[in-house]
Amino acid sequence: MKEQDFVVSGMSCTACAARVEKAARSVPGVREAQVNLVTGILHVVREEETDAQKIIQAVQNYGYGAQEKRQATPEKKRSAKQGWCVVASVGLLIPLVILHYMRCGEWVQALLATGIAMLNYRFFTRGVRTLAQGDPGMDALVALGSGVALVDGLVHLGMGESGGMFMESAGMILTFVSVGKWLEARATRRTGQAVEKLNHLLPTTAAVLRDGAELHVPTEQLQPGDCLVVHPGDRIAADGSVLAGISAADESALTGESMPVDKQEGSDVYAGTVNLHGLLRVRVARSQDQSALSGVIRLVSNAASRKAPVARMADKVARVFVPVVVGVACVTAGIWLVNGAAWDVAVARAVAVLVVSCPCALGLATPVAIMVGAGKGAEWGILFRSGEALESAGRATCVALDKTGTLTAGVPRITDVLPRNGTREQLLRVAVALENGANHPLARAVLACGEPPAGVVLDLQYRPGRGVRGTIEGAECAAGNIALMREMGVDVQEEKEQTEQGKTVLYVARGKTWLGSVAVADAERENAACAVQQLVADGMRAIMVTGDHAATARAIADRVGLREVHASVMPQDKERLVRELQQQGERVAMVGDGINDAPALMRADVGIAIGAGTDIAIESAGIILMHSDPMDIPRALSLSRAILSKIRQNLFLAFIYNVLMIPLAAGVFYPVFGWLLHPALAAAAMGLSSLCVVTNALRLRRFRA
């Protein structure tokens, strides 16, 4: 199977997106097709032998433009073309309106209105085609409204009667809708600025060493095994490893860490990061589109493709929206005619109903909010896989937190050095000498203290389950538990305070002298306590779920402020616990980083993976926290709630607009208040409704957690 993106033009509402997906799925070999209405991207999963041109042709047969993403016309050119069409339409509309109000030059008005219709021919071609296919959308409403007005005006002129009002209405409808769509497109493009910024981090060319010569090639031609030459100040073009050179890299765009990371032979480097100083030669491990940064970009870009459950109601309404509106317009015209209104008045009411109705606002309500929110999250290193995960996070009531790697760093380190008979330095040097060369976590924690060894160790013996012993400068030394100390006849006292805190205590002796103890623990992350405090303040039920011993778990829980602890829990028991919480009515967000967390991450309403975790945990989660900062957990949930709130606001705006404006356009309020809506104002109102939805979503860019 192969995944591929296509750029689709001409979509204006959810009905358009649904038709494009239907067209793509009709091609044999296409397994999946999803459209992101905001970005205009069609994401297809197809069999390798399926021709991409067949997919493009199928979409074009439905009246939409389609190109492979790598060959697509740049967005600026498409926007410029749309802008010139709008300018030309406005240029023709101004004299049309002047002539209309001067009540002269009706045939000139007809020519000007026809010119505007020709400039905006896409509304008619797509509208007629979707009507013929029995699946009409917004284009059909605009085509019907403006087409009826234009044809009726021409018929009146042909019969020698005044048709000026309808010429002006047709021109204003098309122009106002075009202006509204152009403004909407400009606003919508701002929703993807976070993705654009990420895309700009990936260089388009790279220096490659071939046959001893340095060549500059497009980055899409890079293959695993190529040798990159990265000069100081250059961005690295692909993920790989350093073959030669010493430097440091700015990886803040990918990891959020502001400090440079030293690089030398064998070090991993990542696409989009900056080589700060020193010439590097890098062996490419993955092509640029498979790099870690490209994966982040895909996650952000596709977040709006998989619909959130809250959007399904809008989709159901949008499917029947246009046929219902056409029916309402026909009924409106009939009622006005039955009540003795002139033909012109009845047609004007029907046209106003057709034009004022706006399925676009319903279609944009969810994806624009998700796109802006996902972009905001990406700035913080919070990646949402889908709209569904985002909505589930926004509704979460309970957060189940793994301990190791989530609340703690997952790497044991020395927390206490307790000299008893000697100095701190003597104690650590003996411990370092004995543990030097060992590969277990306790040894690595001791060696990380930075002290030099006390001397060369002879007759080194590892005692499984007890510790290590050996001879240093003629004296027998040992580092291990109390059992090893007693075996050697060393008089020691148990470090009860450290043991009760869940720490592992390493007792160190020289001969029969107890030098002291070193306490090692997987200490909590810097912001763990703040994160728990914020979750509780937000009304969340916070729980620790860990496979570690009860004493260790309880000690960490006390330090970070957690009251509810489930310790010694196996992976299948974590999944069962999440299921039990759900049966109690909780909406569970599970946070983890390891393979043992994967079942619970999948079972939870939303899984949240710490970015430094395993690939399995990350693949099982709906949200990924790139920076491994516990404070990103409440940030992600807070942002999700804000996005969900914005979606509800947008849906309310879209629904209330149509509920109020369609009756107004039909003339329901005319008998009581004398209110009527001119078809041209109806067109302007339709454009403004979509613009309001997009603008409201853009307010998320100012969100602060």
For 400-459, what is each residue's pLDDT tens digit? 998 887 888 777 888 899 999 989 999 999 999 998 877 677 888 898 888 888 888 898
Q: How many residues does the chain have?
A: 705
Q: How far is CA 202 from CA 149, 219, 302, in A?
A: 50, 9, 18
Task: Tell me: do 434 and 568 sit in the same domain.
Answer: no
User: CA gyration radius for the chain?
Assistant: 34
Task: Tell me: do 434 and 508 sit in the same domain.
Answer: yes
Given 626, 651, 672, the domain boundary residue is 626
Task: Tell me: do 405 and 531 sit in the same domain.
Answer: yes
Task: Tell me: do 40 and 85 sit in the same domain.
Answer: no
What value does the mean pLDDT take over residues 357-373? 76
Whichever domain contains 282, its CATH number is 2.70.150.10
pLDDT of residue 692: 85
Task: Tell me: do 394 and 543 sit in the same domain.
Answer: yes
Given 568, 599, 626, the domain boundary residue is 626
For 63-88, what is each residue's pLDDT tens digit? 888 888 765 555 566 667 778 888 99
pLDDT of 303 over the 80 cut? no
Average pLDDT taken over every residue of the chain = 83
pLDDT of residue 147: 83
Given 263, 290, 317, the domain boundary residue is 290
Q: Name the pLDDT band for 259 (thresholds 50, 70, 90).
A: low
pLDDT of residue 288: 84
Does some domain include residue 40?
Answer: yes
pLDDT of residue 164: 46
For 240-253, what is each residue's pLDDT tens digit? 999 999 888 887 66
Sheet-wide strand order for 513-521? 413-419, 513-521, 504-510, 475-480, 467-472, 457-463
Query: How many domains in the chain?
Result: 5
Task: Tell me: do 460 and 543 sit in the same domain.
Answer: no
Q: How far apart are the first and last CA of the chain?
A: 40
Range of the domain at 443: 413-521
Single out the catalytic residue among 5, 402, 593, 632.
402
pLDDT of 184 over the 70 cut? no
For 126-178, what is each residue's pLDDT tens digit? 888 877 777 777 777 788 888 888 887 888 787 776 554 567 778 887 888 78
What value does the mean pLDDT take over residues 298-314? 61
Task: Tell me: do 540 and 622 sit in the same domain.
Answer: yes
Helix/strand/coil percent split, the chain, to 5: 55, 20, 25
Does some domain include residue 234?
Answer: yes
Q: Known catalytic residue: 522?
A: no
For 7-38, what is each residue's pLDDT tens digit? 888 776 667 777 888 889 999 999 888 887 76
Task: Tell me: do 136 and 168 sit in the same domain.
Answer: yes
Task: Tell me: do 189 and 318 sit in the same domain.
Answer: yes
For 617-672, what is each residue's pLDDT tens digit? 566 778 888 888 899 999 999 999 999 899 889 888 888 888 888 999 999 998 88
What the block records as the tokens of 329 is 């317009």
What element of type H or E holds 220?
none
pLDDT of residue 535: 94
Does some domain include residue 675?
Answer: no
Does some domain include residue 661?
Answer: no
Percentage, residues of the chain above pLDDT 90: 25
Task: Tell me: do 400 and 426 sit in the same domain.
Answer: no
Beta strands in 179-289 (DSSP E): 205-210, 213-218, 227-230, 240-244, 247-250, 261-263, 268-269, 274-277, 280-284
Considering only residues 221 and 304, tell me which one the structure prediction assigns the higher pLDDT: 221
For residues 694 and 188, give the distance between their C-alpha atoms in angstroms, rounded to a whole number: 6
Task: Tell me: do 515 and 562 sit in the same domain.
Answer: no
Lowest pLDDT segment from 1-5, 333-337, 649-653: 1-5
What the block records as the tokens of 7 is 């750029």
Does some domain include residue 669?
Answer: no
Task: Tell me: do 512 and 425 sit in the same domain.
Answer: yes
For residues 521 and 412, give the distance between their C-alpha atoms in angstroms, rounded to a whole number: 5
Whichever domain contains 426, its CATH number is 3.40.1110.10
